[in-house]
Chain A
Amino acid sequence: MSTTSHLSDNLTFRSSDWLEPRSRTSTGKANVQEPTASPRRNVSASDGLVVFDHVHKAFAARGSAGEVTALQDISLSLRTGSIMGIIGRSGAGKSTLIRLVNGLDTPTSGRALFDGVDVGSLSGNALRQTQRQIGMIFQHFNLLSSRTAFENVALPLEIAGTDKTAIAARVNALLELVGLADKRDRYPSELSGGQKQRVGIARALATEPKLLLSDEATSALDPETTRSILDLLKTVNRELGLTILLITHEMSVVREIADEVVVLESGRVVEHGPVYDVFTQPQHAVTRSFFANDAGRQLPADIRARLQPGAIPGGKAIVRIVFRAASADDAVLSKLARELGVDVNIMSATVDTLAGKPFGWFIASVDGSKSADEIVAYLARYGVSAEVLGHVA
């Protein structure tokens, strides 16, 4: 994929729109802080390209007089230039939430602000002008089957009344950007899923939006294609300073691309913070459930079968130990063994970096000469969080 290098050459974005200074890069550099002491970032409704201010949304229930609450008291703020991932199971309300941003839906109460404007209060031409500053990509691409790749990308420009020569120049540059210059005259039915989503991204970028909304944009794609699409999104975020709000049900997508993550459950925000914090210290059961498929976080099956909740005399405690940036390099485990005089046996481990910072998971068995609580307390002194999963004989 040769997309990034062409960016500045081929695109005639107005620099004021696209190259504004950014508070944080997608690698999260400005976000480095002592992780153990970091409280989850507070939402302030004062600034941010997108602000949800006590948003509440209810739908009339089908076939009865009642109402279904889709969103409850959502307050979030998305800074210009950042990537926020909203994760939740289906029915959690995440689609409803992003549809409030571009006025496809309106909140029952509260406000959804885009660039300081209450989108729900707009209608007619004012709403359409705002919508042209927001691009959107979809799970099923939503490309017009009757239009070629070129014509699909041209559609939002035609709608905005751009003249033909300007459209041609811009569309060609966008197709170049997404790596589909050679497919300009192909119809969607002749393109692969990943290529269709590239057309979708080019189309979403056509009107030089400030914000890109991504509605499960990679959910219909295979893992490899997903990665290349996420790379493309990262590129446009980094090179064009485009702010991205994406919803997904896959933690891996959030991990790959987002700076911040919001966990939505039954219409409420149950967890919100920098990706690193939420990944290394998930607070809520729902958040943890999204990691259930993460191999590194699983107990080996034979241990899980023997696991018991209570301490067993002469048995071992099974402990999950999480190393975060500050502690990941320290030899805490050997100190633990030496100073407490316990045998530590690592059963599974994952060491990785996330948002440029190292983190690690260990599942270890610790012999029973010290109580599990003592071990957890000892590790906590070194800023290492540990969790007793159970005991085995």
Chain B
Amino acid sequence: MSPEIIRLIVNATIDTFYMVALALGFGTLIGLPLGIFLATGGKGELLAFPAAKTILGLIANATRSTPFIILVVAIIPFTRLIAGTSIGTTAAIVPLTIAAIPFIARLIEGAIREVDYGLVEAARAMGATPLQIVRKVLIPEALPGIVLGLTLAAVNLIGFSAIVGVVGGGGLGDLGIRYGYQRFMPEVMAVVVIVLIVLVQGVQSFGDRLSRRLNKRLRHSS
């Protein structure tokens, strides 16, 4: 394999990392509060605002049912508005983030709902405000689950990032298609797949380990 190709692979790996990390970061920034609201906004729940919760749920479902490739193309005007351009690696972060938000929100909703309701009751009995309950009870108690959810989101985003090649997003997936498939270089395809596997493995085991460390329900020395 030529040094040229190796450089391409290294750059593509950096691009993938860059896109996934930023999309995960922005997605969490917006998805976390939305997830908390999805978990607590229902009728009779902590932040009861059922109408807003229902609408939010519908939007989340609609976004998640749109195939990613269609989402990427459909929101090009929005991408241009945010990133100043609709092509390139940075621009690709916009659709990736948009796809990540509802996904992350649903995962965080699930993690928050796993928290024993007795803890919320105990905090209410202490005279805690809803915001205090979220900050001091729900998020810390759900943290191991949230970390696992974000790990899953990161792995999914690595997959999604392969698709943003269609808008010049770059990254490993794009490299694999352009060189491995279109230029008949199966060895490039093989290396791309191996790098992706290693990446996903690394992310997953890092997430698992972090989640386990945060989970004080398990008896272990840490």
Seen from chain A, the residues whose Cβ lies within 8 Å of a Cβ on chain B are 102, 104, 127-132, 134, 136, 138, 140, 142, 144-147, 155-156, 158-160, 187-190, 207, 213
Tell me the bound Cα distance from A128 to B129 in angstroms.
Answer: 8
Partner of A132 from B116, B126, B214, B215 at Cβ < 8 Å:
B126
Known: A189-B216, A189-B217. A131 touches B126 (CB 8 A): yes
Are A136 and B136 neighbours in the complex by a CB distance under 8 Å? no
Residues of B participating in the A interface, judged by any CB pair closer than 8 Å: 116, 118-119, 121-129, 132, 136-137, 140-141, 143, 214-219
Which residues of chain A are near B218, meaning CB under 8 Å?
A: 189
Whole-angstrom CA separation of A155 from B217 in the bound complex: 18
A156-B116 in contact (CB<8A): no
Report, nearest first, the 7 A-B pairs whose CB atoms are least far apart: A131-B127, A128-B127, A142-B122, A156-B126, A142-B118, A187-B216, A146-B140
A242 vs chain B, min Cβ distance (A): 16
B126 contacts which of A146, A188, A207 (Cβ < 8 Å)? A207
CB <8 Å contact, A155 and B136 = yes
> Given A138-B118, A145-B141, A159-B136, A104 and B219 touching (CB < 8 A)?
no
Contact of A190 among B127, B137, B219 (CB under 8 A): B219
Contact of B127 among A127, A142, A144, A188 (CB under 8 A): A127
| Docked-complex contact A104 and B136, CB < 8 angstroms | no
6 A-B residue pairs with CB within 8 Å: A128-B127, A128-B129, A131-B126, A132-B127, A160-B127, A189-B216
A146 to B219 CA separation, bound complex (whole angstroms): 12
Q: What separation, in Å, do the CA atoms of A189 and B214 have in the docked complex?
A: 13
Asked if B125 and A136 make an inter-chain contact with CB atoms under 8 angstroms apart, the answer reads: yes
Known: A155-B126, A156-B126, A159-B126. 17 other contacts (CB 8 A): A127-B127, A131-B126, A131-B127, A136-B125, A138-B122, A142-B116, A142-B118, A144-B119, A144-B141, A145-B215, A155-B123, A156-B127, A158-B136, A160-B127, A189-B217, A189-B218, A190-B219
Q: Are A144 and B126 in touch, CB under 8 angstroms?
A: no
Q: Which of A127, A146, A159, A213 contacts B123 (CB 8 A)?
A: A159
A137 to B, closest residue via Cβ:
B122
Q: Given A128-B127, A155-B126, check contact A146 B121 (CB 8 Å).
A: no
Q: Report whether A147 and B125 are in contact in the complex, using a CB–CB cutoff of 8 Å.
A: no
Residues of B within 8 A of A131 (CB): 124-127
**Min C-beta distance of B137 to chain A, whole Å:** 6
- A146:B125 contact, CB within 8 angstroms: no
Q: Are A147 and B127 in contact (CB under 8 A)?
A: no
What residues of B have a CB within 8 angstroms of the CB of A207 in the complex? 126
* CB within 8 Å for A159 and B127 given contacts A145-B141, A145-B216, A146-B141: yes
B121 x A144 contact (CB < 8 A) = no
- B122 and A129: CB pair below 8 A? no
Q: Which residue of A lies closest to B125 (CB)?
A: A136
Please indicate the chain A residues that have their CB under 8 angstroms from the CB of B137 in the complex: 144
With a cutoff of 8 Å between Cβ atoms, the chain A residues found around residue B126 in the complex are 131-132, 155-156, 159-160, 207
Nearest-CB residue, chain B, relative to A101: B125
Return chain B residues, CB-CB under 8 Å to A138.
118, 121-122
